[in-house]
Structure 1
Amino acid sequence: MSRNAHPAGPRHAEVLPEDHPPLPSHDLTELDPVIWPTTAKRVGGELTIGGVRVSELAEQFGTPLYALDEDDFRTRARDYQLAFSDVDAEVYYAGKALLTKAVARWAHEEGLKIDVCSAGELAVALAAGVPPARLGMHGNNKSRAELARAVDVGVGRIVIDSFAEIERLEQIAAEYGRTPEVLVRVTTGVEAHTHEFVATAHDDQKFGLALSSGAAAEAVRRVIASRHLNLVGLHSHIGSQIFTTDGFEVAARRLTRLLTQIHTEHGVVLSELNLGGGLGIAYVTGDTPQEPKTIADSLLTIVQRECEANGLPMPRIAVEPGRAIAGPAGVTLYEVGTVKDVEGLRSYVSVDGGMSDNIRTALYGAEYTCVLASRASDASPMLSRLVGKHCESGDMIVRDLYLPADVGAGDLVAVAATGAYCHSMASNYNYLPRPALVAVREGRARTLVRRETEEDLLRLDVG
């Protein structure tokens, strides 16, 4: 029996679930260029990325496997840098999306600064050779040790997130004899149209200092009054996976009013305004991400208009794309192990990974595009659910999709747009070793982060 053979049984239910997605109008082998990496194509029916066949990747590195298209990443980083290069603006790559030494070097080589939000991310960026002055540090609960390391190495910008952090950082700066340049993170009250877990600018959440309560203005007063902190600007981040700049317009208007208040009250003109990141990418057909140049023109027009209306000079703008650069460059490969037909509902296609390598679907209902990757098929569409091997009913990678009805054990499937927040949020649930991360480029693949082994899992268990 071939690896794709199955026991006889229904593979495409005649009665579909009430909330099922419509039958696809496109070929199941089609690769939407808005979703897949720029080098992704079919060769003899098989998916290739960066000129490398997925079967070769699976054979050499095993599955599950994160494959990252280096040219795609670099091109997107370069596009953002060029989009904001005509004005006094800066682009930070948001390291939380995906950060390794190689990724940090790519971002740095393409002219981007990098923002980090922990001692670990800071260590990776420094190990990659990124100059500390080109780093920014975030975090709602930075420890004393993290702030001390940032001050000691000379991190370029520290984004203050609380009153307690002002006192903590002031003490550390005094001890080191330094005057770090800081921004105050302002919660603008903008309700981003995104999932609750990734909306970050409404008042009732953990990040920043609220504009509406006066906390942001008070934080500014305290920083200006400090002897060892240099306030250079304001920071705002309204959320993630956002497809329009409407929310940024509201946030910019409110931030500009605060800049005006600061100038009136303190006679200080702040030179920087960081609008954060969060602009979306295409995960499924119909998602409509904006081009970096369109984003840049829109944001700069918004801020310039608001500053002119309030009689303020134009500040230096900063943005922090992370997902928008890393997300589309990544593809995750899995091997199918079991296909289980649930008559009248769908087929459950189980793979050798799951929520330990991609928690996003279980965490906040993320959607993905998945294709049969290792071969061609002209079988009819089969309503499916791509699931993992973990001991959770919520262990789903793609909740609803159509795969060819002959998909079976041994096939490789590929999930697109997994470059952001999959590797960085991976876990060892059920003691699964975390997958390798490899870069593909011009027909070659190389390891960026090796696959964990059982020895790795046991090394920290001292018994």
Structure 2
Amino acid sequence: MYLHGTSRINERGHLEIGGCDTVQLAKQFGTPLYVLDEQLIRERCRAYVRAFQQSGVDFQVAYASKALSTMAICRIVDEEGLSLDVVSDGELYTALKAGFPAGRIHFHGNNKTPEELKMALDAKIGCIVVDNSTELKLLRSMATKRSQQVDVLLRLTPGIEAHTHEYIQTGQEDSKFGFSLANGHALQAVETCQRSSYLRLLGFHCHIGSQIFDVRGYQVAMEKIGQFASKCYERYDFTTRVINVGGGFGIRYVEGDRPLSPDAYVSAIVDGLKASFSHQSELPAVWIEPGRSIVGEAGTTLYTVGTEKRIPGIRHYIAVDGGMTDNPRPALYQAKYDAMLANKGNQTNRQVVSVAGKCCESGDMLIWDCALPEVEIGDILAVGATGAYNYSMASNYNRIRKPAVVLVRDGKADVIVKRETLDDIIAHDVIPERLANDIALSRQE
């Protein structure tokens, strides 16, 4: 397993993260356990900011909180001076309760409810990224009734198919997201904004996909949006002030992944901006939305090995105390991960095993064909690069409790999400009175 950030093998042969021995973390907090490297998260935030500062253009770096949304993460992002993207009332509520400045919050989503929009308007958040004509009409009506000015971006689908898994491509023409450039809907949306006294159109947003390892897609997107912006300038005398090219910057999950540096992504985006907006006297500001590339490699999940099954000549399975409930990405996307034995970090890999989860599903497999030292029951398995879309997509399938999340730095570990209890699992269950009565009657009989 590739060691990211502060990860290292310590003198005891154990995996150490943020100065904390992961074997001790497993004993102290139990497994499964999400471990987050705070220093690496902060370094990634700063890397994007530095890259833009060197570019000379106005910018905002907004952390895409869908990757990992907790109050502690919101605090870190705020301290690093980033903005924040949210896509639901739950993520917005988390940010506001954490004290995140509302003026630096952007609200995404293809089906924002009236209640969610009201919450955003009440909080006076910085920007709403409008996704479709239904939302645009609703937001215009709400803003007009409240006599409240709202800054908006229009999300566009530029017709680009990024080289990634089909379920995480979002910029192609056939997508649930955004106004189409091809059918005229985007132009109609611009006209609607221009006619409103309360919708202040800042510019345009697009997102071409996730886990992207090259820059050409961003440059092509900038070209297409630049052409559209030029048309808006000619037709409506509209000057684009903001171009948001989303996120999708890739990270290293397994051997063979070759992510670029923040400098490389930002440089290509800025070059595309300069080449595509010659029709304006001033360049628009550039906004981006990294999520996975800020927290993904900073996360490691610890498991305890429970059982094994050998099928001679076919496969050697080991099962851990988590699975698709704490990491659904292999089942959803065929996502690949690498792992190591945290308590045998200096031992040589001697066998190939497949790591199964504990859910009652044949598809609950975390890793197929993983090279490890000799595995014993009770070993601590560490799976790397699990900081993004693991905790945030976790479920209670089979009524399995969600793990705790700990933040580690300089030898100190702090719980930022408590482990669920059995009482938490049933906390929202309700037995109707008629069923309670039926049980009482049956017991009397």
TM-score calculated relative to the size of structure 1:
0.91
- 1:354 matches 2:317: no
Cα deviation 1:233-259 (Å, max 9, x = unaligned): 100000000011111111100000110
State the SS of the aligned residue for 1:85.
Answer: helix
Q: Does 1:49 align with 2:17?
A: yes
Question: In structure 1, what is the equivalent of residue 236 of structure 2?
Answer: 266
Cross-structure match for 2:97: 127
Deviation of the 1:177 alpha carbon: 2.1
Q: Distance in 2 between matches of 1:75 and 1:110?
A: 9
Structure with the larger helix share: 2
**3-state SS of paired residue (1:125):** helix
Q: Mapping of 1:103-252 within 5 angstroms?
A: 103-252=73-222
Distance, in Å, in 2 between the alignment partners of 1:88 and 1:378 is 49
Alignment of 1:58-457 (within 5 A): 58-86=26-54, 87-308=57-278, 310=279, 313-376=282-345, 378=347, 381-404=350-373, 406-457=374-425
* Deviation at residue 71 of structure 1 after TM alignment: 0.7
Query: 2:160 is paired with a residue of what secondary structure?
Result: coil
SS class of match (2:301): strand
Work out whether residues 323 and 357 of structure 2, in 8 Å CA contact, stay in contact via their aligned partners in 1. Answer: yes
Cα 1:311/1:136, change in 2 over 3 Å: closer
2:437 maps to what in 1?
Answer: none
SS in 1 for 2:112: coil
**Residue 311 to residue 122, structure 1, CA distance change in 2 (3 Å):** closer
* Alpha-carbon offset, residue 201 of structure 1: 0.7
CA deviation after TM superposition for structure 1 residue 122, in Å: 0.3
Count matched residues.
Answer: 429
The range that moved more, 163-172 or 417-426, is: 163-172
C-alpha contact 1:81 1:110 (8 A) present in aligned 2: no
Aligned partner letter, 1:236: C
Give the C-alpha shift of residue 273 in structure 1: 0.2
CA distance in 1, matches of 2:162, 2:170: 8
Q: Which amino acid aligns with 2:288?
A: V
| Aligned counterpart, 1:17 | none
Runs (5+) with no aligned partner, structure 2: 432-445
Deviation at 1:343, TM superposition (A): 1.5
Distance 2:42 2:348 in 1: 37
Q: CA RMSD for the aligned pairs?
A: 1.2
Match of 1:84, SS state, is helix
Q: Deviations over 1:41-68 (max 9, x none)?
A: 3332111111111121111110000000
Task: Provide the rounded CA distance (Å) in 1 between the counterparts of 2:178 and 2:10.
Answer: 46
Q: Secondary structure at the match of 2:414?
A: strand
Higher mean displacement: 214-223 or 176-185: 214-223
Q: Secondary structure, in 3 states, of the residue corresponding to 1:407?
A: coil
* Residue 380 of structure 1, CA deviation: 5.2
Normalising by structure 2, report the TM-score.
0.94
Greater relative contact order: 1 or 2 (C-alpha under 8 angstroms, separation 6 or more)? 1
Distance 2:171 2:43 in 1: 30
Residues 162 and 209 in structure 2, CA contact (< 8 A), matched pair in contact too: yes
- Separation (CA, whole Å) in 2 of partners of 1:376 and 1:210: 51
Question: Kindly tell me: are residues 380 and 113 of structure 1, through their superposed partners in 2, closer, same or farther at Cα, counting changes over 3 Å?
Answer: closer
Partner residue, 1:19: none
In the alignment, which residue of structure 2 is the partner of 1:9? none
* 377-386 vs 42-51, which moves further: 377-386
In the alignment, the residues of structure 2 paired with residue 40 and residue 236 of structure 1 have an alpha-carbon distance, to the nearest angstrom, of 38
What amino acid sits opposite 2:245 in the alignment? Answer: L
The SS at the match of 2:235 is helix
- Residue 339 of structure 1 aligns to a residue whose secondary structure is strand
Give me the whole-angstrom Cα distance separating, in 2, the residues matched to 1:89 and 1:149.
26
Separation in structure 2 between the aligned mates of residue 64 and residue 425 of structure 1, nearest angstrom: 15
